[in-house]
Structure formats: structure tokens, C-alpha cells
Amino acid sequence: MRVLVVEDNPELAQLLTKGLKAAGFDTDHLTSAVAAQEALAAARYAALILDLGLPDGDGLTILRELRARKDPIPVLVLTARGGVNDRISGLRTGADDYLVKPFAFEELVARLEALLRRPGQLLGRSLRLSNIVFDTESRQVFVDNKPQVLSARELAVLELLLRRKGSVVSKKHLEDQIFGLAGDVGSNAVEVYIHRLRKQLADIGAQVKVNTVRGVGYIMTGDE
């Protein structure tokens, strides 16, 4: 799943994106309030890690605008503002969690995972359907308890479909979560990866189907 990191310190941002990737998250990184507002209006992210002291504005403004338009995206504020009043202000403005710099990276990941485990959010370690199991922590897929090898993009598509099994996942949501802010995504990129995933699932004997809902998206169901 894809997380948006809004942080203007380049060294910290690099550590965050590298560490989050190792923890199983894809990331987009932005350094300004304006760019973050544009990205959040255009794409759907699993979560937002938000610095408050941005060069062109206060991160609280981004948070306030998100909540004003009823956007439920989980927001983890990551900031040097550690005073009690600062924490209260951030939480009351709409942050779901608040972590003060300096911090332990393992704690940030644990807090992010906790946010995504809340009811209505996306995280669960073991995803199951019919004879397929996806361990999201190890990024390993098992069919009939036998480990299988899929590409990173195929894993990303499979994870999104399994998390919403039985429900339609829109093409736009898949594009947002898989490619993020990448500018070179072809119009049929999602279709290409869906085709590859279907072939892979058939080859490894997974008893699931990826059905197309024309004009809307895709839905994963277990074979009868």
C-alpha cells in the first residue's frame, strides 16, 4: 500500500522512504504544503505522514483541509513540536497520531501499522481467500501452503484485491496505490498488471478469480 510522506528535510525523508519500503510500504515523498495538497486531492493514499514545519506553510493547514472535506485518511504527524499544547492542537485538528522528533523508526512503523489496523482501515498481516494466503509482513504468497514467487508489482495488485475481496476496486485506486506520483504510467498499465496477475494465479493453481467490472474496476473472488 502507498503512503504519502510530507517532509522537507532531505536526509530524514530519504531515511523514511527507504525504511518504509523495507517495511513493505510504497511511498511518495513531497516537500511542500502546496504539492501535498495537490497530491492528496488527486490521489488516494493508505496513510499520510505529515511534518508540520513546511517551507511554504503549516502542516496543520493540510490536516484541517482534509478533515473539512471529510477525508478519512489516517494521518501520523511527525514533527519537532513536542509541547503538550502542540500535541493537543495536532490531535484536535484531526491527526490520528502524533510522534515527536527525534524518534525511533521502529516506533513510527508500529504506530503506522496500528493506525491501519483500525476498523475500516487496510492493514492485516495475513490475507486469505480460498487456497491462497498472503503474508503482508514477509511479502510471501502461499498456495496450498507452498511458497510462490510473484513480482513486486504483481504482489501490490494482489494485496489490494485481497484486502477488498468481494468488493470492486476501482482502476483509479489501483493506479494511485501502485504507481503513486509516477509520471510515466501508461493508460493501460493497470490492465497489463491485471493480465499478468491472472496468468500467474492460474499458473500456480490459486483458486481465485479476478473479474473485470467494465468501466469501474476489478473484483477478486474465490472459486466456487
**Quick one: pLDDT at residue 72?**
86
- Yes or no: say if 59 and 37 are a contact pair by the CB < 8 Å rule: no
The domains found in the chain, sorted by start residue, are 2-117 (3.40.50.2300), 126-222 (1.10.10.10)
**Quick one: pLDDT at residue 125?**
65
pLDDT tens-digit map of 16-29: 999 998 888 888 99
**Quick one: pLDDT at residue 135?**
84
**Quick one: pLDDT at residue 33?**
93
- Residues 169-175, mean pLDDT to the nearest whole number: 86
**Quick one: pLDDT at residue 49?**
96
- Residues 192-220, mean pLDDT to the nearest whole number: 92
Mean confidence (pLDDT) of the chain:
87
In this predicted structure, the answer to whether residue 35 has a pLDDT above a threshold of 60 is: yes
Quote the distance between the C-alpha of residue 34 and its chain's center: 21
pTM of the model as a whole: 0.65
pLDDT band at 194 (very low <50, low <70, confident <90, very high): very high
